[in-house]
Amino acid sequence: MPRAAALLTTTALVAWCGHGVAGEAATADPAPARQQQLVRMVRQDCGSCHGMRLTGGLGPALTREALADRPLVSVAATIFHGRPGTPMPPWRAMLNEREAEWIAQRLLAGFPEEAAKASP
C-alpha cells in the first residue's frame, strides 16, 4: 500500500471509530513508572519488528528523521489501532489512547533509551 494511502486509511479509521488520539482534552502524561514501562515496551516489543535501535527491520524505521513528515495524530493512531492488512498490530489492549499519543510524541522527538537499572 502506498504511504499516502496508508496514512489516509489510518486517518479514516480514526474518524470512523469516532475518536481521535489527540483529542481536545488530552490528559496528563503517564506517571514516571508507567513512562519507563512504555519506553521498555517500545524498545523491546516494537523493536522486535522495527529494530532494537528503531532504525528499521521487518517494519519501517521509527527514528525522528524517518517520521519527520508524519503528523502526531497519524503516528498515535497507527500505534493504537495498528495498520489493517499489514503486520502492524493494534496496541490498544496494552495501552490507552493517551499513552499511544505519549509514545508518538517521543518517537517524533527522538525516542529515549531505557533507564538504567539500579544496582543492588
- Give which of 1, 6, 24, 27 is closest to 74, Cα–Cα: 6
Domain count, the chain: 1
Per-residue buried b or exposed e for 1-29, using 16+ beta carbons within 10 Å of the residue's own CB: eeeeebbebbeebbeeeeebbbeeeeeee
| pLDDT beneath 70: ranges in the chain | 1-27, 115-120
Domain housing 65? 30-109
Q: CA 5 to CA 83: how far, in whole Å?
A: 11
13-24: per-residue pLDDT in tens?
Answer: 444 344 444 443
Q: What is the pLDDT of residues 69-91, one digit of tens each?
A: 999 999 999 999 999 999 999 99
CA atoms of 42 and 46, how far apart (whole Å): 5
Q: What is the CATH number of the domain that holds 84?
A: 1.10.760.10
Is residue 14 a part of any domain in this protein?
no
